Amino acid sequence: MYCKKCGKKLPDGSKFCGVCGAKQDSQIVQQSLKSKELKRSQYGLKTPILLIGIFIAIGVIVWGGYQYKNQPEKIIVGVWDVIDVNLNRTGDKIEFRKDGTLLTGSTVGYWSFVEKDKLRLTSWSEEHTYECTRTNRIFQQKELMLSEGNNVIYLEKE
């Protein structure tokens, strides 16, 4: 039981508060203070759990968006200029289409990722699997280096 005036804890059945002297209505005061205390303790625990849940959800959404945007299949689709080892454009173009077809001049072929960093290029007569590298000196989601042994192809997205 608690005092209705000062909130001090009192022995059950007290008629007066020993601290402030206020007259007590024992049952009503005790029930209302206990219900307030119970509500406070419920909200006290729910708020941090809710905030933690919100932060985790935001983190998952941001991470998932980054992973989706940086899938190799999403990056490679488009028209690319072929550039030589001196970083000059050769005039040749390679188009990677969403459906997996590949156009280089008059040659039609197919492309697919064997692994995250291994790109397979197939034409009617040849098949090559290239290491697909984003070069630090030039790559900014627009440039790529494909290598197979001594055969290296630099690409720059239009």
Specify the residue for token string 């406070």.
40
Angle at Cα 61 formed by Cα 67 and Cα 117, nearest 5°? 5
Work out the average pLDDT over 63-72: 64
* The predicted structure's pLDDT at residue 138: 40
Parse the chain into domains and list their residue ranges.
Answer: 1-69, 75-157
Stated length of the chain? 158
pLDDT, tens only, 102-116: 877 777 777 777 666
Q: Which of 22-26, 31-35, 43-47, 84-88 has the lowest mean pLDDT?
A: 31-35
CA Rg value for the chain: 35
Q: Which option is the CATH number for 75-157: 2.40.128.10, 3.30.930.10, 2.20.70.10, 3.30.470.20? A: 2.40.128.10
Structure tokens at 22: 């206020």
Long-range pairs for 113-117: beta carbons < 8 A, 24 or more residues apart: 113/72, 113/73, 116/72, 117/72
Average pLDDT of the chain to the nearest whole number: 70
- Coil, helix or strand at residue 8: coil
Q: Is the distance from CB of 17 to CB of 24 less than 8 angstroms?
A: yes
Please give the average per-residue pLDDT across 141-158, as a whole number. 59
Averaged over 21-30, what is the pLDDT?
65
